[in-house]
Amino acid sequence: MSSVRRNAYQDVLHREVKKFEWTGKISEKFGENVFYEDKMREYLPEQAYKSIKSAIQHGTKIDRNIADVAASAMKEWALEKGATHYTHWFQPLTGATAEKHDAFFKPIGPGRAIEQFSGDLLVQQEPDASSFPNGGIRNTFEARGYTAWDPSSPAFVIDSTLCIPTIFIAYTGEALDYKMPLLKALNAVDKAATEVCKYFDKNVEKVIATLGWEQEYFLIDKAFYNARPDLMMTGRVLFGHPPAKGQQLDDHYFGSIPARITNFMREFEMEAIRLGIPVTTRHNEVAPNQFECAPIFEECNLANDHNLLLMDLLEKVARKHDFRIILHEKPFPGLNGSGKHNNWALATDTGVNLLAPGKNPKSNLQFLTFFVNTIKAIHEHSDTLRASIASASNDHRLGGHEAPPAIVSAFIGSHLTTLLDDLEKNIKAGKMTPADKTELKLNIGKIPQILLDNTDRNRTSPFAFTGNKFEYRAVGSLANCAQPMITINTIVARQLQLFKIAVDKRIKDGNGKDEAILKELQKLIKESKSIRFEGNGYGEEWVIEAKKRGLSNLKDTPSALKVWERQDVIDVFEKMEVFTKRELLARQEIEYEKYIMRNQIEARLISDLTQNHIIPVVVDYQNKLIQNIQGLTAILGDEAIQGTTAQKGILIDLSMHMNKMQEFSREMLENRKQANKIEDIAKRAEAYRDTVRVFFTKISYHTDKLEILVDDETWPFPKLREMLFTS
């Protein structure tokens, strides 16, 4: 066994379990490191507290004097928590969070200093906007950009630093992050949904979008991780023969969690609880060494912040337990990938979940209104929804091993399918009689209150209704939830706007309110029927059926990213005041660049590992076989012909696979050089897809064959069976 692989294996075998214990109730520790409302009440004067509460609830502006008071209160609280620094914590378009730490410390004279933090420093700071992805919005020499405090997401202390969630904008005011457009999308859906809610309840003043994410991830021992350059550099193994036993026995799913992993989970969960992240669920996922955690749902903006914070926590705590966290959507071939299901719903300030059936015809008509309008929004903007989760890494996952396909469809279950079909057929044209209205109301009133349990699950559906929420399952584990949440909330807001206009017109034309709503719902049900699909999303049959229905099949990221430049897509985001055309096209360019760079890194690494690691090992093994054949021939003479058949066959196979691997690597390199010369970024991305990325599987086929031919003792990298089953 190679020294690197042997050392890694020995390290893992002798790894000690690092125990983690805590005392007391979990509930007592929840949010202890967060500047929540109870802390604001304690540290802020009443007027300042009310002003900040108003800003959180209604989006009112915070006066600079109030900001000074808030900054002072935050500082005092943070110092008591052991903080020495503060940072604006923001979400640039890199896909990760960013922060620049500054000390509270300020010298005021010889040998004298104080802790200082002003309202100006709380409200706004100026990081370098040109050093983050901006899609051409900022030139390299135009460095100015601003981070600005988001009071709706509470500050928190982590690792002796006060973290203040902020938006990140260019000097021109254009968004350079995920948070600002998410806040705009949430504002848009709030306004549109509130207007529709007033058909049913005049007391509704605000509608809140909620999000409950489910984070899947793999854990790999640090020794194996460090011995696999491909896993370190790309987040996935670029080659590796599948182990004889993978996930086919389903024995890992919901199985007993090993002690070492349990202690890791306990520690990161406690850190999450202290930071106000309400994680409540943990379990083994389907693939070996794959796991999942999930929280209780929260307001969408806060939930997204918490997911990004948790991803960072997973990495930090995993290192303490000698693990490495793998968030790539498809780190291991032949096994389930990792997603991040986004469970989305709308709730009123009166405490009603608008996507939960009620107990009477009126509440169920409200439910149907938001339910049908959501389906209609998905139907009209399915391409936009697909584009929102497009990435080079998610392309590896979609459509395989229980992951949803790239074709967007909505699963609603048999009960609701029957109900919508009945509504489509039974609402009559023209003036409805009292008997017709009564019959419809009775039918609507029969929506089962136990729908949550009556709605079956369909793991192949990208967008599924699960009883009181919609679950967008195509989101990748590496993704920032903000991008799909921006899209869903924007398109639903636009659809609710159009619905309100249409219903108001029907009422103006002489229809009663309920009759106008029902007739408009009937129209939407008919128009959006093709997006509803209850069957198996895998296989060619669904591809053919989807094409008949007129549904798009945007199989890869370059195809999906073209959606952002369509005028109808731009119009929706501009009308809802979420993105300008310039902002959308900038994000498209950034995503093209990410796609190219990820594939470029993988292509370079494949060339490096095949040339510098695999080929030398294969040649050495060939030499051993040649020496063996020559030795047997020298001793046995002609009798060695039969005795060396196996060795000669292996030699031939080794040469064939090595030559093909070398041939494909050289061809890939040449194609990469040609692709890099293409100036148009969209065409360059397509060239990487069509002429570079296609070689990844071709090369890995031959490296995997070489892995099982070469002496196990000399193979240089930890094998998948070792990485996934040794702990």
Residue 456 has pLDDT above 90, yes or no: no
d(CA 549, CA 162): 52
d(CA 521, CA 375): 11
The answer to whether 168 and 210 are in contact (CB under 8 A) is: no
- CA-nearest of 32, 170, 40, 149 to 89 is 149
Residues in contact with 54: Cβ distance below 8 Å, sequence separation at least 6, in sequence order: 60
Query: Helix or strand or coil: residue 207?
Result: strand
Residues in contact with 231: Cβ distance below 8 Å, sequence separation at least 6, in sequence order: 220, 225, 237, 324, 326, 331
d(CA 607, CA 618): 15
Residue 726: how many other CB atoms lie within 10 Å: 18
The answer to whether 704 and 653 are in contact (CB under 8 A) is: no
- CA-nearest of 425, 324, 327, 416 to 364 is 416
Q: State the pLDDT at residue 452.
A: 47
d(CA 358, CA 343): 20
Burial class (CB in 10 A: 0-12, 13-18, 19+), 61: exposed
Q: State the pLDDT at residue 134.
A: 83
Return the CATH architecture of domain 594-724: Up-down Bundle (1.20)
pLDDT category at 254 given cuts 50, 70, 90 is confident
d(CA 538, CA 541): 8
684 alpha-carbon distance from chain centroid: 25
pLDDT category at 528 given cuts 50, 70, 90 is very high
State the first-to-last Cα distance of the chain, in angstroms, to the nearest integer: 19
pLDDT category at 697 given cuts 50, 70, 90 is very high
Q: State the pLDDT at residue 450.
A: 43
Please indicate whether residue 192 or residue 112 has the higher confidence score (pLDDT).
Answer: 192
- CA-nearest of 598, 475, 474, 580 to 537 is 474
Residues in contact with 712: Cβ distance below 8 Å, sequence separation at least 6, in sequence order: 1
Q: State the pLDDT at residue 483.
A: 97
475 alpha-carbon distance from chain centroid: 5
pLDDT category at 660 given cuts 50, 70, 90 is very high
Residue identified by tokens 């790894």 is 15
Copy the structure tokens of residue 430: 């023209």
What value does the CA radius of gyration of the chain take, rounded to a whole number of Å? Answer: 29
pLDDT tens, residue by residue, 388-427: 999 999 999 998 767 889 999 999 988 889 889 988 887 7
Query: Helix or strand or coil: residue 308?
Result: helix
d(CA 188, CA 177): 18
pLDDT tens, residue by residue, 177-189: 999 999 999 999 9
The answer to whether 476 and 326 are in contact (CB under 8 A) is: no
d(CA 92, CA 95): 7
Average pLDDT over residues 714-727: 89
Q: State the pLDDT at residue 727.
A: 67
pLDDT tens, residue by residue, 541-550: 899 999 999 9
pLDDT category at 17 given cuts 50, 70, 90 is confident
pTM of the model: 0.94
Query: Helix or strand or coil: residue 183?
Result: helix
**Domain residue spans of the chain:** 31-176, 186-579, 594-724
d(CA 209, CA 301): 9
Q: State the pLDDT at residue 1.
A: 59
Q: Which of 34-38, 266-270, 347-351, 440-444 has the lowest mean pLDDT?
A: 440-444
d(CA 641, CA 648): 10
Burial class (CB in 10 A: 0-12, 13-18, 19+), 532: buried
pLDDT tens, residue by residue, 109-120: 787 878 899 999
The answer to whether 461 and 404 are in contact (CB under 8 A) is: yes
Give the amino acid at 704: D
Residue 457 has pLDDT above 60, yes or no: no
Residues in contact with 26: Cβ distance below 8 Å, sequence separation at least 6, in sequence order: 270, 273
The answer to whether 716 and 9 are in contact (CB under 8 A) is: no
pLDDT tens, residue by residue, 201-214: 999 999 999 999 99
- CA-nearest of 631, 615, 626, 633 to 648 is 626
If one looks up domain 31-176 in CATH, what number appears? 3.10.20.70
Q: State the pLDDT at residue 381.
A: 98
The string over 242-274, giving b where at least 16 C-beta atoms fall within 10 Å of a residue's C-beta and e elsewhere, is ebeebbeeeebeeeeeeebbebbbbbbbbbbbb
d(CA 332, CA 328): 9
Which helix (H) or strand (E) segment holds residue 346: the answer is strand 340-348
Burial class (CB in 10 A: 0-12, 13-18, 19+), 417: middle
Dihedral sign for Cα 414, 419, 421, 422, please. Answer: positive
pLDDT tens, residue by residue, 275-319: 999 999 988 888 999 999 999 999 999 999 999 999 999 999 999
The answer to whether 416 and 501 are in contact (CB under 8 A) is: no
CA dist list (Å): 650 to 185, 292, 455, 698, 711? 61, 42, 55, 20, 11
Copy the structure tokens of residue 505: 């017109």
Q: State the pLDDT at residue 503.
A: 98
pLDDT category at 718 given cuts 50, 70, 90 is very high
pLDDT category at 372 given cuts 50, 70, 90 is very high
Q: State the pLDDT at residue 682.
A: 98
- CA-nearest of 458, 190, 496, 495 to 341 is 458
pLDDT category at 638 given cuts 50, 70, 90 is confident
- CA-nearest of 367, 348, 542, 566 to 449 is 367
Copy the structure tokens of residue 306: 């918490």
Average pLDDT over residues 241-252: 76
d(CA 710, CA 617): 8
Q: State the pLDDT at residue 438.
A: 67
If one looks up domain 186-579 in CATH, what number appears? 3.30.590.10
Alpha-helix runs per DSSP H in 321-429: 361-380, 382-387, 392-397, 414-426
Alpha-helix runs per DSSP H in 398-531: 414-426, 434-445, 451-454, 482-508, 513-527
pLDDT tens, residue by residue, 549-562: 999 999 999 999 99
Q: State the pLDDT at residue 226.
A: 94
d(CA 701, CA 103): 53
pLDDT tens, residue by residue, 143-175: 678 999 999 999 999 999 999 999 999 888 899
Q: Return the ∠ at Cα 159 (arms to 291 and 217), rounded to 5°.
A: 10
Mean pLDDT, rounded, of the chain: 91
pLDDT tens, residue by residue, 416-454: 898 899 888 877 776 777 777 666 776 777 675 545 445
Residues in contact with 650: Cβ distance below 8 Å, sequence separation at least 6, in sequence order: 625, 709
Give the amino acid at 89: W
Burial class (CB in 10 A: 0-12, 13-18, 19+), 209: buried
Query: Helix or strand or coil: residue 149?
Result: strand
Q: Determine the longest span between alpha carbons in the chain, in angstroms.
A: 105
